[in-house]
Every structure is written in C-alpha cells, then in structure tokens.
Amino acid sequence: MTILQMRYFLTVCRLQNITHAAAELHIAQSTLSQAIQTIEEETGLNLFVRSGRAIMMSQDGQRLAQKVTALLREVDLFETDVREMARRHGKIRLAIPQQQASFIIPRLLNTFCPAHPEIDLDIIEPSGLESARLVREEKVDMAIVNYDGETMPELHYRRITSRPIKFVVWQGHPLEHCQSISLAEALQYPLVLLSEEFFVTRLLTRITVKRHLELNALYYSPHLSTLYSLLRAHTAPSILFSQAVISLDGVVTIPFDEPLALTSCLITKKSRQITKDQRLVMKFIREQLLLDSMKS
C-alpha cells in the first residue's frame, strides 16, 4: 500500500462516500474506486460494507484506519523534518525596508556574514507594508519593519525598540535651529513624503485624519533617495523615521513636541517554524538595533 493509497483510504473512511471523497481529492471517482479495490486485494481484507452508494467501514477497515492514521502521522513528521533540514541549508530570505536598510545591511554584510559563512542571506529592500505582505505570503522568511501599531493576524511581531519620527529640513532652512515643533505647525508646510506603502506615512495619515488636520503633500515617492534629493534641492521639508536620515549630510532633524514614534520589530509568519540559522540572524539584528538605540 503506497502513501497516496493510504491517504485515499482515510479520506473515504472519513467521508464514507466515494463520490464526495473523489471530489475532495480532486481525482476521478473511478480512480478512487480502483485504488480502494487494489488495497482490499493487496491486504485480503474487506474494508467497507457497501449498501448502494453508501459505504461503512467494516471492523477490519476500522482497525486498518487506526494503523494507517498512526503511520501517516509519522510520515508527516518525517516530511516536516526533511523540509526543516532543507530550509537550514538553503537561503534565508530577508526583507529590509529602505529606512532600515542603510543602517542594518552594512552590518549584516560586514560582520554577520563573515562570522557565519554557512548562512546565505538573500536580502531585498521593499517598502514596510510590502515587507509584511511578503512574509505573510511566505516569499521571504522574515522582515525588519518600522511597526506602526496595525498588525496582520497571520504574522508574529517581535518588538525591539521605538525610535522617533522627526520633521526634516535642510541646513539654512528658517527652522534649522528650532528645538521642537508641533505637528500642526509642521503641516503648515508643503511636504515631500514616502509613499503610503511606508509605515511612517500611514501613521502620519491616520493621525492627521483623527485630528482633522490637513496633510499638504507636495510629492510622494517610494524611494528615500528621491526625498534626499528634494531636501538637498530645498524643495520642501519631510517627515521621516529618525534612522532614515541619521547619517545624511546637509539636513537637520527637528523633534516633535509630542511623542511620535515607530517601533522597530522583526516579523515572521506564525505558521512557519523558525530554524536555528534564522534565529542567529534575528539575534544579530536585535542586538544591532538595541545597540544603536542606546547610542542615540
């Protein structure tokens, strides 16, 4: 009896109907009937009592179903272990949005990868919301995002540290030496912002709607480099996660006089087992983010 035949057999046992079982298995009814007949011929057992279209398990059928159930449980565990082994020896797919990428990718490539040559990192740089979607769809194993408080129920969020959102101007701007600014004052200026796929903009939009404030966005861009160019060209101020501009020359960050922040976190899918190698990557990222937070 093959593994496939065992699965066919248990489906028929559960539904007690060949037609319904064939539909659930997405196979022809004749194929399923032949498979059950083959099992009975190979085992020498009468597994079902038939009455028209209705079928019921015989005593031998019930005993065989118990043994097959136990055996398939072990097969499923074996297949899970094999997949786990394959993932350990494969790539770790990691999504890092742009606001974190300039900070964490050099540390991963310069420090983590040389220390762990056996781990192959496959890093991409989508937006924050897209990173979360990629984890949910299992197209990446994990992501670092600037969490804004809204969650996807399929994902596990491991919070690490909160960092402020700041008003960003260029050197020479009239507000360059301002110690702090209110959100209402900042919104009096036309702004260049990251697109709505980024958590910082999603959070800003929710707050302005809730407070009945008007967000005057001159331009939305999916690229931080574009915003940097617009800031350097003195086009308009911006509102960004503090880490996005921490190493950028020619700009000035002004804190808000109320707490506006995003929380850096690692996200994984709840239904996916975390491998040993993935835990090493997560531990390194967590340590780097906490270390950077203490220095600031």
Task: Give the start-to-end residue ranges of the domains of the chain.
Answer: 3-88, 91-295
Residues 170 and 234: beta-carbon distance below 8 Å:
yes
Largest CA distance in the chain: 91
Residues paired with 211 in a beta bridge: none
Handedness of CA 31, 32, 37, 42 (dihedral sign): positive
Q: Do 3-88 and 91-295 come out as alike in CATH topology? A: no
Residue whose pair of structure tokens reads 């690490």 in the numeric block: 160
Alpha carbons within 13 angstroms on the beta-carbon side of residue 157 total 16
Query: Domain 91-295, what architecture?
Result: 3-Layer(aba) Sandwich (3.40)
Write out the DSSP string of 174-208.
TTTT-S-B-HHHHTTS-EEEE-TTSHHHHHHHHHH
Mean pLDDT throughout 194-202?
A: 87
- On the question of pLDDT at 242 being above 60, the answer is yes
Q: Is the pTM of this model over 0.85?
A: no
The string of pLDDT tens digits covering residues 17-61 is 888 888 888 888 888 889 888 998 988 988 888 876 678 889 998
Residue 110 has pLDDT above 90, yes or no: yes
Residue of 268 and 118 predicted with greater confidence:
268
Only one residue has tokens 């996807």, namely 152
Class of domain 3-88: mainly alpha
The pLDDT value given to residue 76: 86
Mean per-residue pLDDT over the chain, rounded? 88
